[in-house]
Amino acid sequence: MPSIEPYFEGHLAQGRAYFTREEAQAALGLSPHALSVALMRQVKKKRLAHPRRGFYLILRPEDRAFGAPDPVRWIDPLMKYLRLDYRVALLRAAAFHGASHQAAMVFQVIVPRQMRGFEVDRQRLEFVYQGPEAFAQVNRADWLGSLKSEAGFAKVAGLELTLLDCARYFHKAAGINGLAQIAKDLGGQARPVELARIAAHYENSSVRRLGYLLEWAGHAPQAEALRPFARKAKTAALLDPSVKSLEGLSGLHEKAPGWRLVLNEPVEVDA
């Protein structure tokens, strides 16, 4: 019967720093109780991390300061183990595409099922829910990219999809100013036609919010691609729905011309 530590080393030699309980059970031949005891002992020694029931990470010495490797190295096998499609999104995706102002303190993943986030020591994961129908419509290979690590690839929102995700979930993307910064940093690289195609699957108010900020940032072709969505709007929406009061915002109540938005919050970004 092979011992558990050579089992880890064999995985690492193959560039595979994770395994499932079922795989270990089959390879090691331990009883369920003996395997549980052995795995828990390794977790306590910080040789393993246990982000999800039945799924384990093998920690190299350089990983132990953070409690787990960068999630980009194991999010894909974890989601395959959970049998759930996904995309790395929002701040991590924006940083991947070059929004250098965005320091992603949390690894954000959009999924078509309600899931609780979790922390593995200093690594924090947040799962953002998108309805299954909308998720299936936009989580297409041609609208996704790949985040590469030494352990393989993870699905990441493409640039246009990242912009629209950040507009839809701006409260999880550092607020309206975070969205404005992302629009400023990335908007000029977006393909207008693709941006409009993906926007058809998002709430009209989110598309208008992004269109206004693209125009504000000087990315005219991308903003114009979203202008038809504003023409369909029947009522004005708030630029920042999280701001409940308009008091003290005199001069910011006007509607943005052409976007059917009430500018209830000043926009500030880094130079």
Which distant-in-sequence residues (6+ apart) come within 8 Å of 114 by Cβ? Answer: 129
With a cut of 60, say whether residue 102 has pLDDT above it.
no
Give the HSE-up count for residue 147: Cα atoms under 13 Å, Cβ half-sphere.
Answer: 26
pLDDT tens digits, 240-263: 988 765 554 444 556 777 899 998
- Pair 118, 157 in one domain: yes
- Pair 152, 197 in one domain: yes
- Pair 55, 79 in one domain: no
- Pair 17, 99 in one domain: no
Which distant-in-sequence residues (6+ apart) come within 8 Å of 178 by Cβ? Answer: 91, 102, 166, 170
Kindly state whether residue 256 falls inside one of the protein's structural domains: no
- pLDDT value of residue 10: 87
Rounded percentage of the chain residues whose pLDDT exceeds 70: 93
Kindly state whether residue 243 falls inside one of the protein's structural domains: no
- pLDDT value of residue 1: 45
Closest CA to 77 of 183, 161, 153: 153
Rounded-to-integer distance, Cα 104 and Cα 93, Å = 9
Kindly state whether residue 249 falls inside one of the protein's structural domains: no
Kindly state whether residue 257 falls inside one of the protein's structural domains: no
DSSP H/E element including 18: strand 18-20
With a cut of 70, say whether residue 206 has pLDDT above it.
yes
Kindly state whether residue 252 falls inside one of the protein's structural domains: no
pLDDT tens digits, 142-177: 999 999 877 678 999 999 999 999 999 999 998 999
CATH assignment of the domain containing 41: 1.10.10
212-238 as b/e: b if 16+ CB within 10 A: bbbbbbebeebbebbeebbeeeeeebb
More confident residue, 67 or 94: 94
Q: Looking at residues 113-123, what average pLDDT do you find?
A: 88
Q: Which tokens in the block code for residue 138? A: 């936009």
- Pair 91, 64 in one domain: no
- pLDDT value of residue 225: 98
Rounded-to-integer distance, Cα 101 and Cα 87, Å = 21
Q: Which of 68, 88, 114 marks a domain boundary?
A: 68
- pTM score, two decimals? 0.89
With a cut of 70, say whether residue 113 has pLDDT above it.
yes
Residue 120 pLDDT level (bands cut at 50, 70, 90):
confident
Rounded-to-integer distance, Cα 28 and Cα 23, Å = 9
With a cut of 90, say whether residue 97 has pLDDT above it.
yes
Kindly state whether residue 180 falls inside one of the protein's structural domains: yes
Q: Which of 45, 68, 91 marks a domain boundary?
A: 68
- pLDDT value of residue 250: 47
Structurally, the chain folds into a number of domains equal to 2
Q: Given the structure tokens 């941006």, which residue do they identify? A: 195
Bridge partners of 256, per DSSP, are 261
pLDDT tens digits, 23-70: 999 988 889 999 999 999 999 988 899 989 999 999 888 887 777 888
Q: Which tokens in the block code for residue 162? A: 């990242």
- pLDDT value of residue 248: 45
- pLDDT value of residue 244: 67
Range of the domain at 154: 73-235
- Pair 58, 97 in one domain: no
- Pair 18, 136 in one domain: no
- Pair 63, 100 in one domain: no
Amino acid sitting at position 183: A
pLDDT tens digits, 225-244: 999 999 999 888 989 988 76
- pLDDT value of residue 249: 47
- Pair 40, 160 in one domain: no
Q: Which of 53, 68, 83 marks a domain boundary?
A: 68
- Pair 133, 47 in one domain: no
Q: Given the structure tokens 């926009």, which residue do they identify? A: 267
| Mean pLDDT estimate for the chain | 89
- pLDDT value of residue 2: 54
Rounded-to-integer distance, Cα 222 and Cα 187, Å = 7
Q: Which tokens in the block code for residue 103? A: 């320091």
Kindly state whether residue 10 falls inside one of the protein's structural domains: yes
- Pair 37, 82 in one domain: no
- Pair 148, 81 in one domain: yes
Q: Given the structure tokens 């989110």, which residue do they identify? A: 206
Residue 200 pLDDT level (bands cut at 50, 70, 90):
very high
8 A C-beta contact, residue 69 and residue 59? yes
